[in-house]
Amino acid sequence: MQIAKQNYRVQLSITLLSVVLFAAKIIAYQFTQSLSILTDALESIVNVIAGFIGLYSLYVAAKPRDMDHPYGHGKAEFVSAAAEGALIIAAGIMIVYETVLNIIRHSPLQELSIGLWLVGGTAVINFIAGGICIKIGKQNNSPALLASGKHLQIDTYSTLAVIAGLFLILFTGFAWLDKLIAFFLSVLVIYNGYKILRRSLAGIMDEADIELLNRFIRVLNEHRQENWIDLHNLRVIKYGSLLHVDCHLTVPWYLNVHEAHREIDALSALIKQQFGDALELMVHTDGCLPFSCSICTKQNCSVRQHPFEQKVEWTMKNLISDQKHRLA
């Protein structure tokens, strides 16, 4: 619950900041009449709208589980991130539209130096705020904060491109560069919006997070204990900031219920240490069978029926399998 509240406070700050930065860019556009600054401001409109969507999604995601939502409300964050990705794509299309209109109208550029100072300030603030948002989003496994942070940093890069273009226009007098920059910005914006939308839909559909799974498997291999003979049927799913882990753990058959539970507690402690406290762990314990002896690393086992042959390194393929490890 504390993590959810922190996510909400960060998103609220980002949303209020987006409103201020949008106002600064509109003022810069009024001074300069620069199309590239206007396109940057149009993207900031998306920041504001997406900020409020993200804020509401985090409010929903923070609600405790109930009868209708036994896994909680965390997936609201994926919906928010998907909406933000769609809005970013819409902003890119708007930039293309405004570029075409400006080519037809031939609007002259005006006070570029004032515009440079204003948009330069928004770029610095956006980059810092986006970095903080991404850092907290990664710590708390929050798709909404990650989407907001990446959006802010995308906004920073587009603003830097605008600043570079305006400097070129000041020194060369080539006003047509303003339209060219706006067009390339629109392509960048649409592409990044697609990536955010794609990642969000993957989360909604419970698509496997390969990067997360690989990190999870690496941690298990590095901290494997001798009573953890085998691990299989592994499922790792993110519900907003909550990490849900499902697996089968093979332990020595002669452990009593309390001893087997201590192994689960050790596994849970390891995962929380590496991935945070927002964890829901469901473990089914299996007793080892005779064929397990050949891959069991337990020392001085009084009931061993077969000699140890080789240690099986846990991999993506054998951990997600519904079959126990067997030697070829």
pLDDT band at residue 325 using 50, 70 and 90 as cut-offs: very low
pLDDT band at residue 326 using 50, 70 and 90 as cut-offs: very low
Contact 315/216 with Cβ under 8 angstroms?
no
For the chain, the residue count is: 328
* Sole residue written with tokens 């001074």: 31
Cβ neighbours for 16, distance < 8 A, ≥ 6 positions apart: none
Distance CA 172, CA 217 (A): 55
Q: 2-204: which CATH architecture?
A: Up-down Bundle (1.20)
DSSP 38-55: HHHHHHHHHHHHHHHHHH
Domains of the chain, by residue range, sit at 2-204, 210-319
- In the structure encoding, which two tokens stand for residue 220, read together? 């298990």
The answer, yes or no, to whether residue 157 has pLDDT greater than 90, is: no
What is the per-residue pLDDT for 252? 92
Question: What's the pTM?
Answer: 0.54
Q: Which residue has the higher pLDDT, 198 or 250?
A: 250
- Three-class SS of residue 73? coil
CATH fold of 210-319 reads Alpha-Beta Plaits (3.30.70)
What is the per-residue pLDDT for 328? 44
Q: Which amino acid is at 324?
A: K
- Report pLDDT digits (tens) over 98-121: 667 666 665 555 566 677 788 888
